[in-house]
Chains A and B, each alone.
Chain A
Amino acid sequence: MPKLKVPSPPAPLQPKPKRPGKKTGPEGPVEHGHEATASTIGWIDERTSLSGAGRWMMFRKVPKGTNWFYTLGSATMFAFLSQAVTGVVLAMYYEPEPTRAYESIRRINNEVFLGELVHAMHKWGSTVMVILIFLHMGRTFFFGAYKYPRELNWVIGVVLLILTMTMSFTGYLLPFDQRSYWASIVGVNINGTGPLVGPYLSDFLRAGPYFGATTLSRFYAIHMMAVPGAIAALIGFHLYLVAKLGTTAPPWIRAEAPEATREEKVAA
């Protein structure tokens, strides 16, 4: 495989040619200020060599025919980032105790500044994320982008889908109104219908035989700590494989025959 030529850094980051008649090096604070960005980035890069990784990630060759469908994965990731940020700030006001949870959500919606907006972003954003995942999955399927050598990335994507469903399930209980309470009871009992392990799984989810004092905090811990960490890590690996393996052309783009085997060349 031919090695890609590493592109040079963008213009603002390149050292400027010296103007005629100027002394070497920056003179006053203004000149120092002009060079601050470049020198800060240079300082970090000298110690981490991250700029090569950044260019490897950002300046990739993409196949002919790449179109808007290829943005669905990034869109899903931004939906996740939105969920992460709004979730972190919701956690500043939410109380995961059975007697306090509903009241704290009511307070977020009615009293906290922008609370209704942030809560709604998190609530509707979860649906948006699930829809985007399925669109992204459909794009990958119909463009045949799951085939060799990208099978592992498909598998990681399926794990991410399951983790997102886990997020939806555990998050649904947290507002702790009638709908979320009974929906979670039904959901836990669906888990219990698995033969042999089902009864233990539902007891694990509830932390006991009944919906109990720690069921809510258990769902909360899974929702905001266990699963988001796994999702973030797997998105990283997913993206690494995308950058390493490259993207596929859409199925309607035909591969061009090499120069020598083209008919007009052979005939001549």
Chain B
Amino acid sequence: MPERKQPKSKYTTDRQIPGAFEGETVTRRRFMSGTGLAVGGIASAAFALPALGFALGPVFEEFDQPWQPVGKITEFGSDTYVARTITLVPEIGDAGKSTVFMRRFNPAVDTEDRDEYNEYIAVSSACMHLGCPVNYVSSSQRFICPCHGGVYDFVGKVAGGPPVRPLDRFYTRVRAGIVEIGPRFSVNSELQRFSPRDPGEPLDGVGQYLYPSTPDLRKLDTN
């Protein structure tokens, strides 16, 4: 059996390295390469981290959802929807506009608690399958999506097709006889209010935990 090589001492002086200091354990070559790597890493992080934050920033920035008027209180009945166009994102033309379907609260069909934000019901036109625009078909009292066949009943609950939750809604309020539309919120199949989610994200069962709301859009603090 060949003789085992004696392990090198951790002190550079013991290893006969020229110019070694007493008690020194790191060789200068090792120190230089370590420093080089560290400086390179810091320099890369100095541009990469700000760039990453710059690209991710909007995810964590609160999005502005101002109240906007959509019509006089007399324009909305309680047994059919009236379409109104609102602006979700200003200054980008039609791409920032969206249709909402409006009606008055109807105790005969609306089972949720009445408060100051649902005297008028504002239903979003974004299909909860994947976000295509739904139409309200008054003859059948259904919302119908042209893309993949999603169907919703009169209050916006899923009546058929692939959508995973009822149509989103908007808070509404009345100011001086004018109905105003505010922030959006999502609802589960019992029409409980949740912070807005994207289409395709269920809210029943574990859905509300699997699909957390993001910091850029939260529901109103109504308490």
Contacts and interface: CB of A to CB of B under 8 A. Distances in A.
Interface of A: 98-99, 176, 181-182, 185-186, 188-190, 192-193, 195-196, 198-200, 202-204, 206-214
A204 B96 CA distance: 17
Interface stretch (B3-11, B35-43, B70-78, B194-202): B194-202
Given A185-B130, A185-B131, A209-B214, 4 more contacts: A176-B95, A198-B198, A200-B59, A208-B216
Given A189-B199, A192-B200, A204 B55 contact: yes
Nearest to A186: B130
B91 interface: yes
Nearest to A214: B58
Contacts of A196: 210-212
B59 A204 contact: yes
**From B93, B95, B133, residue with most partner A Cβ within 10 Å:** B95
A257 B130 CA distance: 60
Contacts of B95: 98, 176, 181, 211
Contact of A200 (B63, B133, B210, B214): B214
18 contacts: A98-B92, A98-B93, A99-B93, A176-B95, A182-B132, A182-B147, A185-B130, A185-B132, A189-B198, A195-B211, A196-B211, A198-B198, A199-B197, A206-B58, A208-B59, A210-B89, A210-B96, A211-B96
A99 B92 contact: yes
A92 B77 CA distance: 52
The dominant DSSP class at the B interface is loop
For the side of the interface on B, what is the size category? 20 to 34
Contacts of A99: 92-93
Interface of B: 55-56, 58-59, 61, 63, 88-89, 91-93, 95-96, 130-133, 147, 196-201, 210-214, 216-217
A193 B201 contact: yes
Contacts of A210: 63, 88-89, 96
A252 B198 CA distance: 52
A197 B199 CA distance: 15
A196 B199 CA distance: 14
Contacts of A211: 89, 95-96
Nearest to A199: B214
B185 to A, nearest CB: 12
Q: 7 closest Cβ contacts across the A-B interface? A: A98-B92, A209-B217, A192-B198, A207-B58, A193-B200, A195-B210, A186-B130
A253 B92 CA distance: 61
Given A185-B132, A196-B212, A200-B59, A213 B91 contact: yes
Nearest to A182: B132
A217 B210 CA distance: 30
B176 to A, nearest CB: 28
B202 to A, nearest CB: 9
A99 B88 CA distance: 15
Contacts of B200: 189-190, 192-193
A208 B89 CA distance: 10
Contacts of B91: 213
A202 B198 contact: yes
A199 B58 contact: no
Contacts of B93: 98-99
Given A186-B147, A199-B211, A213 B132 contact: no
